């Protein structure tokens, strides 16, 4: 009987040690943590096709965003902008109607009605770089991507999509004097607000006339 109890205790002890030394972790979490096999092209394509359209549909009007910032900047930035890091720079998805007043190789100059005045902004048409689209979308959480290269690759793929699919048909047809609808991303420095000359990185473009 004593021998039986001795073996039983031994089996229980071994079982407890084995239980405490083994844990289960989701494979998806491990892939994120190590950055192994991350496909930035597939991830960005899924983002662009399945999640970004709804974000663009709900983008705030540029003039409305400006008024909100002028009324209560902290509240406006919290509700209508996003940033992956800490600092003065914020990114927002905006939409606006505008008239094309100038065409150049690098950008188009747009004129926007803002109350009783006119506002002049730039529409980027050549150099689409940086993190504005990724960050303004608020669809990417930095906590999910400890590998900075993965984050940069997402930005580059989103920018590439704009350069390859959004801009070519627009640049082929747009003319001075055209009225257009623009939905895109903007970068704002909270400490140095400047609305005139603001650059819009386009994501959705439509020539109205």
Q: Is the dihedral of CA 53, 58, 59, 61 positive or negative?
A: positive
Q: Domain span at residue 174?
A: 2-207
What's the pLDDT at 114? Answer: 84
Q: What is the pTM of this model?
A: 0.80
| Count of the separate structural domains present in the chain | 1
CATH classification of the domain holding 183? 2.40.50.420
Dist CA 138 CA 91 (whole Å): 9
What's the pLDDT at 167? Answer: 98
Q: Which residues of the chain have pLDDT under 50?
A: 1-10, 12, 14, 16-35
Dist CA 30 CA 32 (whole Å): 5
Q: pLDDT (tens digit, 9 = 90+) per residue, 55-114?
A: 999 999 999 999 999 999 999 999 999 998 778 899 999 999 999 999 999 999 999 998
Dist CA 67 CA 24 (whole Å): 51
Q: Kindly list the distances between the CA atom of residue 10 and the CA atoms of 2, 22, 50, in Å, as whole numbers in the listed order.
A: 12, 19, 56
Question: Maximum distance among all alpha carbons in the chain?
Answer: 99
């Amino acid at each position: 009987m004593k021998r039986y109890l001795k073996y039983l205790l031994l089996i229980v002890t071994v079982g407890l040690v084995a239980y405490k030394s083994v844990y289960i972790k989701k494979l998806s979490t491990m892939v994120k943590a190590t950055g192994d096999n991350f496909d930035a092209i597939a991830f960005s394509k899924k983002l662009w096709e399945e999640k970004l359209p709804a974000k663009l549909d709900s983008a705030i009007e540029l003039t409305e965003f400006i008024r909100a910032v002028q009324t209560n900047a902290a509240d406006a930035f919290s509700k209508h902008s996003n940033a992956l890091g800490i600092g003065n720079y914020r990114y927002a998805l905006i939409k606006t109607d505008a008239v094309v007043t100038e065409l150049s190789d690098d950008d188009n100059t747009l004129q926007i009605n803002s109350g009783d005045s006119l506002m002049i902004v730039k529409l980027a048409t050549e150099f689409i770089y940086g993190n504005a689209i990724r960050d303004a979308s608020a669809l990417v959480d930095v906590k999910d991507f400890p590998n900075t290269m993965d984050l940069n690759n997402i930005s580059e793929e989103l920018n590439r999509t704009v350069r390859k699919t959004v801009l070519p048909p627009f640049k082929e047809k747009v003319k001075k004097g055209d009225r257009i609808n623009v939905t895109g991303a903007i970068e704002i420095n909270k400490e140095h607000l400047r609305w005139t000359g603001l650059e819009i990185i386009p994501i959705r473009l439509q020539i109205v006339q």
